[in-house]
Each structure stands twice: as C-alpha cells, then as structure tokens.
A and B are shown apart, each in its own frame.
Chain A
Amino acid sequence: MESFASVPKHNSPLLEGCPKGGVFERYQPNPNKNKPDSSEKFVRLSLSKAKLETDSGTKATEEQLTLLFKLKKDITKKMSRYNFDYLDELEAEAIHILREVAGQFEKPALLFSGGKDSITLVRLAEKAFRPGKFPFPLVHIDTGHNFEETIDYRDKMVARLGERLIVGSVQQSIDEGKVVEQKGKNASRNALQTVTLLDTIEQHQFDACIGGARRDEEKARAKERIFSVRDEFGQWDPKRQRPELWNIYNGKIHKGENVRVFPISNWTELDVWNYIRRENIELPSIYFAHDREVITRNGQLMAASPFVNMDEEDVVERKKVRFRTVGDISCTAAIESEAFLIDDIIAEISQSKISERGARMDDKVSEAAMEDRKKGGYF
C-alpha cells in the first residue's frame, strides 16, 4: 500500500542473535485491541442477572437486595476506574499542561499548523478554557505553499471559535530578504519557517509557544521536555535540559527566552486518531483518500503542485491518495490509500510498517536532521 520501499525485516542482521536457528517468532498483537475489560463485563452481567431475579420474583429477598446493592457499589467503583481510560488520561494531562501555560506565562501563543496534531490541540484548549476565551491567540506560520484545504479549514475553524489568528508569513520573510528561497528540484520552504517563527515570536513578545509535537514522532523529539526552554535565538540545547519532575512544570525564564510547550508529548499517532474519532473532530479533507495528481520523487508521492519544482523527468499520474502528516506541500509526501473513513485510517495506521515521519522529506536529510533543526530554533 505504502509507497515507501519496505525493508525486508527477515534479512535483518538481528536475526543472527535469535533463538531457534534464525526463525524469529514475533509477538502477535491481539486483533481485538481496545476490547473492554472482561472483569467490567462480568460485573455488568452479574448486575443484570441479579436485577432479573429480583424483578421476576414477587418480592426480592433481603439477601438479593444486599447483593444487588453490593454489586451496584462495585460497578460504580469499577466504572469510574475503567471509564477513565488511556485517552482520558492523555487528555487530562494535556489540559493540565495547557492550564499551566495560561497560569504561568504573560503572552503565550498556540502554534497552529492546520495539521491533525494542532487541530487536536485546539480541541484540548476548548476543553481547558471554555466557556471562557482562550488565553492565547492561534499563530500560523504560513509557508505560502499550503494545501488549499488546510487554509479553508483554518479560516472556518477560527470563525467558529471566535479566537484571534496571527499569521506569520514566510513569503514576507523572503520578500524582506531575511531568508533566501531554496533552489533546485527538492526545494522546500520548510526550513525557512524557523526564521519567520522566531520573528513572529519576537514581534509579539511571546514567552510561550504551544506546539503539537509528539515524542513518538522522531528520536530527538523523544528527548525533549514538555516545557522546553529556548534561548533568545530559539535554540534548544539538548545537553542542558532542566529536570522535569512529576507533573510540575517550571516555566520561569529570563527576558528574551521563551518556552516551547508540548501538551501531547505522550500521545502516539494512533492515540491522536483514536481521539479524533472519539471526539468527532472534523479534519481537512486531504487526510482522507481522494484523487490527486502526483509525481514520484525519491520513492515518495508528492503532490503535483506549482510549489513543487518539476522537470521533464517527472511523470504526473492520477492516484487515490491521502496525507498522513500535513506540512508544507513541498516536503509532505502522500500515500496511496483507499481509506475514506476515520475507521479505515485507524486500521491502516495500525497495520502500517512506516512511521508517520517516513513521509517527511525534511527528516531524511541526515540521522540528526530533527535535532539540528531544533537546535536552530525549529518547532
């Protein structure tokens, strides 16, 4: 299904170390993943059984009533425990972090990219602050090379929320000569975003920027704190991170510094999708399978768009695709997919052998591509 060249796992040199002469038995994940806890089901069953017996007899005996009462007590205890499942736990943690930002900073902002992670952040912000207003504006660093659908979505969402949107324009940074557009076939504006982001932060004096990065996306991100302090130049110093203990976040900074805050650090890609399904959150249509003209570049499908530099070698084809991650058009690859409904997407991701960032050209540059960009002030 995926366009990414798949790695033949069974030729892995790892096999040399495995038991049973190279036949590597892999752990078989259970197909009934999110199945409800059986003990909870048992209590429910016993409860309805006891109720039935009580209802059918002319009068419930003292004993039956005591049993019913006890079971009911057990079930409420159990329910309140089991009802609070992993999505609730992740959600509650994220809301706590968002409220810490509100409480600790003078001028925070929420970086909104139009992707599913920042859309999730917006929903979490609604849960944290409604019916009040958000204690921060939404900030979009606009590369100018967007999918039209993302911008439509953004504007509708902002209108629905009644919140303030600030747009930092990469085009403007280019026009002002602050950055130079990349040249060549693989040119992308992704790297240029950092300058626009830092300028926007400085212009508005933001002391905290909330972002939707997750630790499961990439190995340098796996190392970053939830409150990640950046110096005056936006730089991350991975060797000098503050300890971060329990659920206590230290947002104290000097003037000029700012903090990047990642409320969904502990969410996986699948968690985000399951949350979007559970919350019924609308997404830009590019996340779902659609027909699109694409070209194949370095084994990846790229949208055939004026923002992607093409030459005569590139063959434009029409394919059914969707995007798994959404950034600048010039660095976001599509995957071939028939997944039109959110359940199909979840099924597809559960089976996928390629990570989400496998579709990002920007991470392919080197082993430390993300770390280097973060050190330079990137999200």
Chain B
Amino acid sequence: MNILKFFTAGSVDDGKSTLIGRLLYDTDSILADQLEAIQNANRKNDDGTVDLAILTDGLRAEREQGITIDVAYKYFQTAQRKFIIADTPGHIQYTRNMVTGASTANLAIILVDARNGVVEQTIRHSYLVSLLGIKHVVVAVNKMDMVDYSETVFDAIAQKYRSLAQELRLEDVTYIPVSALKGDNIVHKSERMAWYNGDSLLHFLEKVDTHVQEKSEKARLPVQWVIRPQTDELHDYRGYAGRVVSGTFRVNDKITVLPSGASSTISKIEFFDKELAEASSGQSVTIHLATDVDISRGDTIVNSSALPQESKLIEADLCWMDTKALDTSITYLLQHNSKVTKVKIADVVYKVDINTLEKHAADEFKLNDIGRVVLKTADALALDLYQENKANGSAILIDSRTNLTVGATMFRALAD
C-alpha cells in the first residue's frame, strides 16, 4: 500500500473544508468522540446540520471567523491507499500557507463553485500548481446542488478550465461535479447526476497512479550528518548519513562529492542493522566510501556518471512569503537541502500578474508575489533544475534578521 498526498485549493467558501469533512465522514474515518465534539460545537450550517468544515478548522480563530487560516493535515485510509490531506486556506493573504500544504503534494483538488465558475483564485492556485510541478489535478465543481445538478453548468466550467490548463501546461486534469455538502460524487456516485460517467472523487483518488512521477534517475544524497562513533572497536567507522533524494545508489558505484569534486566508490550502504545492495529515492541510509574523503554536512554525494550543475548564479521562480517586501540590497540565507549559503537577489526578471498570467517588469516583490529572479549565492550550489528534479531543484530563502522563511525558490536555469 502506498500514500497519496493531496491538497484542496480554491476561493474562500468554495467548500474545501466541507469536502474534506465529507470525504472523512463518508469513509467512516471520523470517530465517535470527534463526531460528538463537532455535533456539540456552536458552528452549524444554516439548516442546522453539522458543519463538517470544523473538522479541519482546528484553531479557535478559525472557528470563530469560520475561515481556514493555516493548513491542516488529515489522515485516512481505504483498502486501496493511505491518504494525507492538506486542507489549505483560500484567502490571498494566506497563500504562503497554501503553498506549504501544496509543496509536498502529489495531487491538487481545485474547487470551483458551480455558481461562480473559474475565478481569480482558481487561476492563482492553478498557476501555483503548475509552478510547483504537481502532476495531477482534479477540478471539483462544487455546490452542484445549487445549480440543479446541471450538466450545462458543469460543461461550461470544464470548458473554461481546459483553456487555462492548456496555457499552464497542466497535462493530467480530471473534472468531477460534486456537492460536498450533500455528498454527491464524493465517496458515492451520485444518482442526481446520471449524465456524469466518471468516477466519484474517492474512487479516482484511490486509483490515480503516482508512480509515473517526474522522479529523476540521477542519484543524489545530500549529507545531513557524519556518523563517527570513535569507540575502540569502531575507530575508523565513518558513515555519511542522509536521504537519497533522487535516483539509486548501488554498492561499487563511482561517486563524486560536491562541491569539492573528490571522487570515490561506495563500499557499503547501511540501514541500521542491515546492509543494502542499493538505496533509492526516499530512503534514509548511511553510505560508506572506499577511500578517505573530506565530507561534511551540506555536501552532496552524487553518481559520477550523472553530475549535477554547479553554479553561483541561478535563475529561479520565487514565491515571496513575508509581510516585509523583498529587499535586493540585503543578503539573505538560502537553504538547499542540507546546505545553507548566503544569497542576494541580483535581479528581478519579471513578476507575474496572476489574474492575466502576464509577465511584467518589476523591482518590487511583496507578500504573495510570484515571479522570476536571479539568485547570486556565496557558495556554488550542486543543483538540478526543478522541472527535472524537484528535491534538488528547490530551496528556501531565510531572512537572517528575523529568521523567518521568506521565500520559496525553484531553480529554472543557470544564469552564467
């Protein structure tokens, strides 16, 4: 059994939290005491029914205001799969929280209110989905109960979204008409929309194949920690601990350590009390080398036959996440896997107007702005481009005055 991570996006009140509540409720994933708690809660739907959104709106402020402020994670499983859901906020001001939930997802559910169709937030969120390289998209046209379950309304929205998807190069998009409130096509196929031939949302989520991901074959292991017991019997033990972020390492592979460029051969791959013949993307292991090489945290072990690019000047997409605007005159910190280096924003290439998706020249970058910049780092990074290798092509920016995470960057090209 494997895990599917997905998130819900859409404008405020499109029904994201309700949809998740419905998924959990109809799969019998809500336990009695939790159900009792929401039944006793003050917040109810207008018709007096229980508001399923409270299940994920876990903060006092959220329940008071009836909105989602920060991402909530929910877990459930069926016979086919385990699911991790990120319920993300719809308000523009909380976009950074939405990006937090989206960054680890395999699939996005974009909710569209059947009465309103494709709106600004739909475009904004779809753009973020394409930027983050999330491969699978479900467009859930919600509140079908409020448009008499009309096929015409659904088709018109799907039609409109198709052209957006094309523009954004979203390749795998599935359209499902639903009512989160009434439960139509969420877990059970609705009898009220006989014209719809596709799967219920849950059924689709159970079978979507995430193995055909964009995972790079190039073997990369950012070193997190060097294990050196320095005891009598393990005097010469030196293990490089880290998680393989892409590709596969095998014993006897020739490897290169970056940034030093030193090369060696893998003599052993350990996982606690086991020795492995190979370690693949996702596995946390300890690597031993045949020769003594100077390696510390922040270095990357790569397969010598597939070297990454090395650069101090990188063109990257940037999502700005701080209330304080980007300041091109100061130095930030850039964290790329286990490596931290100083960085300046050498140039703002453009900013994207996310209503029209047009690119504009700009020199200001404020909260929730998205666009292209040139990063100039103090140390060279051993990187891949995000579109080829997410894990080795992404980094965060930290403001060393506040220590806050102020930006998400995705490497798109070398700039030198």
A residues with a Cβ closer than 8 A to B are 4, 6-7, 9, 12-14, 16-20, 25-27, 29-30, 32-34, 37, 80-81, 84-86, 88-89, 91-93, 95-96, 99-100, 102-103, 126-133, 135, 215-216, 218-223, 225, 238-239, 241-248, 250, 252-254, 265-266, 268, 352-355, 358, 367-368, 371-372
Contacts and interface: CB of A to CB of B under 8 A. Distances in A.
A215 B405 contact: no
B283 interface: yes
A93 B3 CA distance: 13
Contact of B403 (A19, A27, A254, A266): A254
Q: A-B pairs with the 5 shortest C-beta distances? A: A30-B79, A219-B58, A358-B33, A95-B284, A99-B224
Contacts of B224: 96, 99-100, 102-103
Contacts of B74: 216, 222
Nearest to A102: B225
Nearest to A18: B183
Nearest to A87: B1
Given A89-B282, A250-B396, A219 B72 contact: yes
Nearest to A81: B211
B70 A246 contact: no
Given A16-B47, A103-B338, A367-B41, A250 B228 contact: no
Nearest to A368: B60
29 contacts: A6-B32, A7-B39, A14-B49, A14-B50, A18-B182, A19-B188, A19-B192, A30-B79, A84-B282, A89-B3, A99-B224, A99-B225, A103-B224, A127-B271, A130-B272, A131-B234, A135-B225, A216-B75, A223-B59, A239-B61, A242-B405, A245-B405, A250-B396, A250-B398, A252-B398, A352-B31, A358-B31, A367-B41, A371-B58
Contact of B278 (A34, A80, A245, A246): A80
A92 B282 CA distance: 7
A371 B35 contact: no
A243 B28 contact: no
B391 A247 contact: yes
Interface of B: prevailing SS? mixed
Interface of B: 1-3, 25-28, 31-37, 39, 41, 47-50, 52, 55-61, 63, 69-75, 77-80, 82, 84, 96-97, 99-100, 103-104, 181-184, 187-188, 190-192, 202, 211, 224-225, 227-229, 234, 237, 239, 241-243, 248, 271-273, 278, 280, 282-284, 297, 321, 333, 335-338, 390-391, 394-396, 398, 400, 403-405, 408
Given A99-B242, A242-B404, A19 B271 contact: no
A246 B32 contact: no
B69 A239 contact: yes
Contacts of B37: 367
Q: Name the residue in B33, B47, B70 with the highest tally of chain A Cβ atoms < 10 Å from its Cβ.
A: B33
A92 B241 contact: no
Nearest to A279: B272
A222 B35 CA distance: 16
Contacts of A13: 39, 48-50
B49 A238 contact: no
Nearest to B393: A246
Contacts of B338: 100, 103
Contact of B391 (A30, A37, A81, A246): A246
B242 A27 contact: no
B217 to A, nearest CB: 12
Contact of B96 (A33, A103, A243): A243
Nearest to B226: A132
A303 to B, nearest CB: 20
Given A33-B79, A34-B1, A102-B225, A245 B99 contact: yes
B27 A17 contact: no
A135 B49 CA distance: 52
A311 to B, nearest CB: 27
A29 B335 contact: no
A372 B59 CA distance: 10
Given A248-B394, A268-B75, A19 B184 contact: yes
B283 A92 contact: yes
Given A86-B3, A96-B284, A245 B55 contact: no
B408 A245 contact: yes
Contacts of A33: 1, 77, 79
B225 A7 contact: no
Nearest to A26: B28
A339 B381 CA distance: 54
A368 B42 CA distance: 13
Contacts of A218: 58
Contacts of B284: 91-93, 95-96, 99, 127-128
Given A12-B50, A96-B224, A223 B58 contact: yes
A153 B55 CA distance: 36
Q: Name the residue in B25, B224, B404 with the highest tally of chain A Cβ atoms < 10 Å from its Cβ.
A: B224
Nearest to B401: A254
Contact of B82 (A37, A86, A129, A215): A86
B345 to A, nearest CB: 18
Contact of A25 (B25, B188, B408): B188
Contacts of A367: 37, 41, 60, 63
